[in-house]
Structure formats: C-alpha cells, structure tokens
Amino acid sequence: MGVRQVKAAETEAALKTAARQLFAEQGYLNTKITDITTTAGRATGSFYDHFAGKEELLQALVHDMNAHADATIAAEAHPEEHDLRDRGQLRAHIGTAWIVLRDHLPVVVALMQSAMTDNLAAGRGWRTLLEDTDILRQHLETLEQQGHPLPGTPEMVAAAMGAMLSMFGYALLTAGEFAPAASEEEIVDMLTGLLLYGLTGPPREGSERREKETVAVG
C-alpha cells in the first residue's frame, strides 16, 4: 500500500471515529459534517473524498458493524440448522447481538434517528429490522420446515425478537445512573430465558426444566 493510500485510509478511519463520538454525544441529526471533520482534525473537503454525505458515512459504519457481527458469529460453531429452542444455541445469538449493540450503540442510535426523518410510509425501519434479523429468520424457517409450529411467521417472529433486543439494549445501555445493577452475563441470561419460553412454552409444572421442548403453537 502506497503512502497516499495509507493517508487516505487514516483519514477515513479518523472520520468514522469522529462520527461515532459525535453521534454518541450530540446525536446523528444534530451532527454536521463540519463537526465531524473538525473533531477528526481533517479539512472539510477531505470528507467528500471518502463519502458523498453524512448518510453515506453512516452506511459505512453500518457495514463495519455488520462485519463485526459476521466475524463474531463465524468465530463460533454456527451450523445452518441451529436450533433456537436449545438454550445454549439461542444464548449464543443473544450474546452476539448484545456485544454488537454495546460496541456499536452510536451507530444503532444514528440509524434510528436517520430513519425517523423518512416519510412514515417509506418502511425504512421495518426493512432495516428484517435485514438485521435475517439469520434468526433462517433458523426459524428451518424449525418450521421440521414441523415445529411458531407463534407467527419466521419473518415476523425474528423481527419481533430483534426489535425487543434493540430497544431494550438501547434503553439499558443509555440508562446511566439509572441502570439496574446487573452484569452483562445476567442480562444475556434474562433475555435468553424470555425469548426461549416464547419459542418453547414454559416448563411443565412438576418436571425438570428441559433445554428442548416442542414449540408452542402460540
């Protein structure tokens, strides 16, 4: 890689870092391109060498977030037929989602704020939710194909799970001094249990809690 390419890569990285910082401090809508370049210590004109506008920069950050999620999933055993009724396998998904949400919270919030500027009929929020939960949808489709009824279509169930995780995570991770005294392990365990029994139904009274049960009809 030549000197110019190295400098270009450094500038792009600096702009992304500055954008994440400012999105966290003052929000996506209140952040101007000049704010980003000033914080990054770069000339305003250099911004347009890399991005057409703030929205394109946001999409680049989303790409980085998704790459992080893919790398985290790839680092674990993740067969296509993952059974989300299994506590361990479901927890792996919840744990990955929590890590990505925690590490990329400014980007997630920026996406929400950006979507709010669209026409209400544009459907951007729903389309983004479907994209973000596609892996869950695939696993749920496998369950359905194996004859296990779900409380809704795989697409709807996956989207509902993703919406709960993202909104709960956003509220908790921005709670500051109001946040409950709970470790990340406890939070992931709680979310896993809540979603698990939405898929399997509650454990039968008087019987041991089983890691797998027939999926409840809903």
Q: Is the pLDDT of residue 113 over 70?
A: yes
Find out whether 191 and 165 touch, Cβ atoms under 8 Å: yes
- 72-96 tens-digit pLDDT: 877 666 666 778 989 999 998 999 9
* Residue 203, pLDDT score: 62
Query: Superfamily assignment of 53-218 in CATH?
Result: Tetracycline Repressor, domain 2 (1.10.357.10)
- 36-51 tens-digit pLDDT: 999 999 999 999 999 9
Q: Is the pLDDT of residue 67 over 60?
A: yes
Task: From residue 61, give the alpha-carbon distance in Å to each of 15, 25, 142, 194, 200.
Answer: 10, 16, 31, 30, 36
> What CATH number has the domain spanning 1-51?
1.10.10.60
Number of CB atoms found within 10 A of residue 104's CB: 20
Q: Averaged over 2-21, what is the pLDDT?
A: 92
Q: Which range scores top for mean pLDDT: 4-13, 16-25, 201-210?
A: 16-25
* Residue 3, pLDDT score: 79
**pTM for this entry:** 0.81
Reported confidence tier of residue 190, pLDDT bands at 50, 70, 90: very high
Domain range list for the chain: 1-51, 53-218
Q: Averaged over 128-138, what is the pLDDT?
A: 91
Q: Is the pLDDT of residue 1 over 50?
A: yes
**Can you tell me the distance from the alpha carbon of 51 to that of 33, in angstroms, rounded to the nearest whole number?**
10
